[in-house]
């Protein structure tokens, strides 16, 4: 598994730290390695993806799904568009649009990640929701 630096929930700029965690995981993901997101996910994570018929519940189910796509994702370049972090006690809600280019094709998705402070003091993803951006919108 990839090593991640986890900012403590009581550290300075939590929003910047959450965006940095997500960026680290995306960098790995875009090169076919889902370990960054697996390391960030809580054991009770819930995952929604338009490529799946049903939501995934739990880290083991997420790992099984990610293992099927391991090594198959290769993104030439990407952007996190307008990432916003909303803070609640012990929780950080990250939303952004994701734009990726692969083999000359551009696609866009919306992403929502809910991070929660774990008892050990690290941020974990407890909920992920991906959806397609409709063309022309």
Instruction: Give the span between the Cα atoms of 49 and 45, in whole angstroms.
Output: 13
| Residue whose C-alpha is closest to residue 92's, from 34, 19, 42 | 19
Give me the pLDDT at residue 137, please: 58
Element (H, E) at 13: none
- Band (pLDDT 50/70/90 cuts) for residue 3 is very low
Q: For residue 135, give every residue at least 6 positions away whose Cβ sits within 8 Å of its Cβ, in sequence order, or none.
A: none
DSSP, residue by residue, 27-65: HHHTTT-THHHHHHEEEEEEEE-TTSSS-EESHHHHHHH
Q: Which class for 31: exposed (0-12), middle (13-18), buried (19 or more C-beta within 10 A)?
A: exposed
Q: Which residues are CB-contacts of 72 (< 8 A; sequence separation ≥ 6)?
A: 32
Q: What residues have CB less than 8 Å from 51, skipping those under 6 apart?
A: none
pTM listed for this prediction:
0.87
- Which are the contacts of 49, defined by CB distance < 8 A and separation ≥ 6? 56, 128, 130
* pLDDT tens digits, 24-73: 999 999 999 999 999 999 999 999 999 999 999 999 999 999 999 999 99
| Domain residue limits, the chain | 14-132
User: In angstroms, rounded to a whole number, what is the distance separating the alpha carbons of residues 12 and 4?
Assistant: 18
What pLDDT, on the 0 to 100 scale, is given for residue 12? Answer: 56
Correct CATH for 14-132 of 3.30.70.270, 3.40.50.300, 1.10.15.40, 3.10.450.50 = 3.10.450.50
What share of the chain in percent tops pLDDT 90?
Answer: 82
């Amino acid at each position: 598994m990839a090593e991640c630096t986890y900012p403590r929930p009581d550290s300075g700029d939590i929003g910047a730290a959450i965006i940095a965690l997500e960026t680290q995981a995306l960098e790995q993901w875009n090169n076919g390695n889902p370990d960054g997101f697996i390391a960030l996910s809580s054991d009770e994570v819930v995952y929604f993806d338009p490529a799946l018929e049903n939501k995934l519940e739990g880290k083991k189910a997420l790992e099984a799904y990610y293992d099927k796509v391991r090594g198959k994702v290769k993104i030439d370049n990407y952007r996190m568009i307008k990432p916003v972090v909303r803070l609640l006690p012990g929780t950080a809600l990250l939303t952004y649009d994701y734009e990726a280019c692969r083999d000359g094709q551009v696609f866009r998705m919306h992403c929502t990640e809910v991070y929660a402070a774990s008892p050990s003091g690290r941020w974990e993803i407890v909920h992920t929701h991906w959806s397609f951006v409709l063309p022309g919108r």
